[in-house]
Structure formats: structure tokens, C-alpha cells
Amino acid sequence: MEIDDNFPAAIRIVTEIQNIVSKDPKLKEFDLVIQPESQNKSPVIYIDHCLGLESWCVRHVYRYVYQRLITIRKRLKRPVSNETITLLTSALLLNPEVTTFWNMRRELVIDEYLKPNEELRFCAVVLKFKPKSAEIFNYRRWILFHVLKDFSSNDVVQNELTVGLTAANDYPSNYNAWNHCFCVIQRSLDHGNFALIAQQWEITKVWCCEHVSDHSCMQYRQRLLKYLVTDKRCIQHLKSCASKLLLRFFNSDERHKLMRPSEDYIGETIGVILDELYFNEDLIAMYQNHESLWNHRRFLCYLLVNIYSTDCIKEVLMNNEKRVCTNFLKGNEMFVKKYVLWLQTKLCISIQLL
């Protein structure tokens, strides 16, 4: 296909976009502005660190940059010019799903035409437009893990987690965003940043209250919880509330049977799980009929039973879950029934609903 000659304004538009992107380090978002027809003025709108492009020209602009870039890519010798960067910026803002374009940017980073830190900023802007795009997160991780490689600075890590959380806010159950956060966490654990798990555990607890049906956030918390209950170095950063919770959950006989004085750490782990179990109950009481909450509860019971594989814990759990299921049967009927069935088949805990 030949270059679209019907739209000579394309070059001017993409240059304008590139200028704004490279000159404004505080650029917050990019979005389309619905405008079916040309208003006889530039379709690039730039207010208050937000960049908008009028929708009528998107088709023409994208067609132009796509064709130009593919032509450039097909050449054997690829001299780098500012034009390539300009074209890539517009192409990826409009459609971040094209791996080839990200790869072209990767080459430019390797050859030091583009700065890694500026690339991270650019990605954050693209994420505001397409918060779920896996390609953007892949590229970010590539920059972090293969170019910067430096995880000693807490600022880099915190910035990454903030970007992830923003994307999670902008798109419900955004698995890619949460997964990205978790990758970053794993990397910083390798560098001995154990306090991070506890910090994320507290932050996402507040976040969960505002997004009760977000499956991916719950799953992220489950991954954090696994670290907390298996690694002493992680749990010690958490404010302990174990003793109060153990008193609430077990009666004295049961406590006696389960605990040995030497097992403080076990007490702490159980404490974290119980805290989450009661927190989950509060959410279920407040918000009816959310599958995510009941699934999360399954995970917590599973963890509790598997850490402490005794019959005693099953009995206590059975009584507690019977109380919860009976209390919340009204309004959550389908999920309670599924949950009871699951307890029976997977954990051999049988509950008779009244």
C-alpha cells in the first residue's frame, strides 16, 4: 500500500504530539476527544498537562504512521532519524498493542537514542489511555530489569508500584497491572527489601475496601499473604495483632491444644490469616453478592487448614464458617451454597445450613 497522500496534515500533527511528549515531563494523560468532524484548527489539544487528539483524525494519522513505520522497518539499513521516534510516539499512543513498534523503541534505547527514565514516563502516559495493555507492562519491565537493573533505590520501586496501582484504578480487575506490581516486589525481595510486603499488604487493604469486586487485587493479596506466612523476614514488619485475634477465634481449650509456647511465629502467621478472615467477613456484611469476596474466603480457609493440619483447626473453622454462612445466607444465597459445597469437597468440612 502506498502512503496516504490525502492527509498531508499528519506530519504536522505527529510532530506536535512529539513536541508535547518530550517537552512536558509532567504530562499526565493522553485521550481521544470525541469530535466527528474537523474544526479547521489543530486537532491536538493540550491543557493542564493532559494531551488530547480529536477523534476525526485518528484514522488518518494512524494510517500514516503505521505505513511509514512499516516501510522503515522493512529497510535493511535503518538509519535512525528523529522522524522514527516521532512516528513511534504517535503510533504507540494510539495503539500500544503492536509489539513491533515497542521493539523498535527497544532498539533505540539500546543505541542510546532514547533515555530509559523518559521511556518510563512515556509508558505511564500510554497506560492512562490503555490501562490494561500487556505490551506496555512488558516494555516497562524490560526497561527496569534489563536496562536500569538497579533495584537498590526505593524510589524506583515505589514509583513502579504507584504506576501499577493507577492502572489498577483505571480498569477493573486489571490482572496485568497487579502482576506487574508483583514482579517488581519479587525483584526487590531479591535485594532484601522485606518491608515492602507488609507495606503493600496495608495499602491494598484500604484499596480493597473501595474495589470489592476486584478479583485481581484479591489475588495479589493472596500472593502477598503467602510470603507473609512463609517468610519470617516479611512478617516482622507487620504490626502484630495476633494475640487479640487468637483470643477471638479460639476458646482457651482450643488454644491450649494448638499452641506450644515455642511457637510464637506460628501464632503470628495465624494472626495475619485470621485478621484477613475477619476483614473479609466485614466486607461480605457490607457488600452483598460479590463472588470475589467468597473466593478470597476460600483461599484463607485453605491456607489456615494447610498451615495447621490438625483436626482441631477444622472443627473451629467449621463452627466459625457455619456462623458466617448462616448470617449472610440472605443476599448471598448462590455464593454461600457454592462455598459450603467447596468446604465439603476440598477441606472435608461439612456445614449444615438451616
Partner 1 sequence: MVKLFAMSVLYKGPNEATLLKAAFELQSFGYFQRKSVQEFMSFVTKTIAERTAIAARQSVKEKEYMCHVYVRADNLAGVLISDDEYPPRVAHTLLTKTLDEFTAKVPPYNWSKLNETQVTFNELNVMLAKYQNPKEADAMTKIQQDLDDTKIILHSTIEAVLERGEKLDDLVAKSEGLSMQSKAFYKTAKKTNACCRM
26 binds partner 1 (CB under 8 A): no
Range in contact with partner 1 (rule: CB under 8 A) among 85-93, 144-152, 182-190, 203-211: 203-211
Q: Binding string to partner 1 for residues 145 to 184, with x set by CB under 8 A, is what?
A: ------------------------xxxx------------
186's CB contacts (< 8 A; 6+ apart) are: none
Range in contact with partner 1 (rule: CB under 8 A) among 10-18, 33-41, 96-104, 217-225: 33-41
342 binds partner 1 (CB under 8 A): no
Compute the least distance from the CB of residue 42 to partner 1, in Å: 15
Range in contact with partner 1 (rule: CB under 8 A) among 41-49, 68-76, 82-90, 310-318: 41-49
> Torsions phi, psi of 289, nearest 5?
60, 50
Dist CA 292 CA 308 (whole Å):
25
Short-list 155, 145, 83, 89, CA closest to 118: 89
> Torsions phi, psi of 51, nearest 5?
-110, 125
Nearer to partner 1, 37 or 150 (CB): 37
Cell of 67: 505505513
**Cα distances (Å, whole numbers) of residue 234 to 82, 121, 187, 194, 311:** 47, 30, 14, 5, 28
Q: Binding string to partner 1 for residues 214 to 253, with x set by CB under 8 A, is what?
A: ----------------------------------------
> Torsions phi, psi of 133, nearest 5?
-65, 120
Q: Binding string to partner 1 for residues 98 to 127, with x set by CB under 8 A, is what?
A: ------------------------------
Dist CA 191 CA 310 (whole Å):
36
Question: What residue ranges bind partner 1 (CB under 8 A)?
Answer: 28-29, 31-36, 45, 47-48, 50, 52, 55, 128, 169-172, 209-213, 286-288, 290
